[in-house]
Structure 1
Amino acid sequence: MEKEMQKNMVMGLLLFLIMLSGVRAWTGEIHGRVVCDVCGDSSIGPEDHALEGAEVAVLCITKSGEVLNYQTFTNSKGMYTVAETMPESDRWDACVVRPIGSFHEHCTQLADSNSRVKFSYTHPSGYSHAIRTFLYQSANVPMYCI
């Protein structure tokens, strides 16, 4: 909770400084979830659980051509978020999001080895883009799944 408050304060300060400089500010956000697909059935059911600490990479190209690389980890609810405030002229244009790894001892195999999401970021300032849930599977499927 304290880290979230610090993050919000820093983002607010950055937005304030950009506004003071006379440059029109833009804020974007990308968020999603990572889940352990316990039975390996590629669907989320009551037996599945959020993966805390899963690593996710977000790569974005801005309107000005700059490449921005973010690395984030999921929280206890399996959620990750990347947010940025920048001048409107430098806003995100296109992004790729992909899972990097799970550190959960029973759920480390990525369900889809080609699971990356590419998209154009067309949202106006202050809006977010939700990414589909990434699934990891267990190397040993429990008997109740069979």
Structure 2
Amino acid sequence: MEIRGKSWMGSMLLGLLVVAFIAGEVEAWTGAVRGRVVCDVCGDSFIGPEDHALEGAEVAVLCLTKSGEVVNYQAFTNAKGAYTVAETMPESDRWDSCLVRPISSFDQHCTRRGDIRKGIKFNYDLPSGQSHTMKPFLYRPASVPTYCA
């Protein structure tokens, strides 16, 4: 099959090269925020052997992009108390700064915020593919067990 003096296959190849060239002009950037949520059983602000991961805890990640857009993410912790928020976007829209804050713990015994930080703000200046790791957010039980004293 001929299309204006060129074979169909040649035209298709030329079209794919043009698309690849245009797509190459916009570099993709990937960022990630990772962290943990822990039940600080003794309320001592240290993670020790008596403490445990909080599954299902909710964390909010709010980021401001280089282009000025505000993006809001919601994450829930897994069985190990870990959460991750990741995004791939054009380099021109990459995250500039982020605010990460715990929202709630669904553990029936460990629901009180254990640290005074309402959230942590940081500049996101990592290269593509790198992740920012947060310090763990802590929750405490309403009453501390007697073995903690």
- TM > 0.5 fold call: yes
TM range (shorter): 0.7 to 0.9
**For 1:135-146, what aligned pairs fall within 5 Å after superposition?**
135-146=138-149
Q: Higher mean Cα deviation, 111-120 or 24-33?
A: 111-120
Q: Mark the runs of 5 or more structure 1 residues left unpaired by the alignment.
A: 1-17
1:21 to 20, 23, 32: 23
TM-score w.r.t. the length of structure 1 is 0.85
Higher Cα Rg: structure 1 or 2? 2
Distance 1:20 1:135, change over 3 A: farther
User: Which runs of structure 2 are paired with 1:1-146 in the superposition (5 Å)?
Assistant: 21-22=23-24, 23-146=26-149
Pairwise CA RMSD: 1.5
Deviation by residue 1:84-111 (Cα, 9 ceiling, x = unmatched): 0000000000000000000000000001
Shift of 1:113: 3.9
Q: Deviations over 1:23-76 (max 9, x none)?
A: 100000000000000000110000000000000000000000000000000000
Aligned length: 129
**Cα drift, residue 19 of structure 1:** 9.2
Amino acid at match of 2:63: C
SS of the residue corresponding to residue 21 of structure 1 reads: helix
What percent identity do the matched residue pairs reach? Answer: 69
Structure-2-length-normalised TM-score: 0.83
Tell me, in whole angstroms, the C-alpha distance in 2 between the residues paired with 1:141 and 1:77: 22
Determine the C-alpha separation between the residues in 2 that align with 1:50 and 1:108.
13
Q: Which runs of 4+ in 1 moved over 3 A?
A: none
For the residue of structure 1 that corresponds to 2:110, the secondary structure is coil
CA distance, structure 2, for counterparts of residue 19 and residue 121 of structure 1? 29
5+ residue gaps, structure 2, are 1-19
TM-superposed deviation, 1:140: 1.3
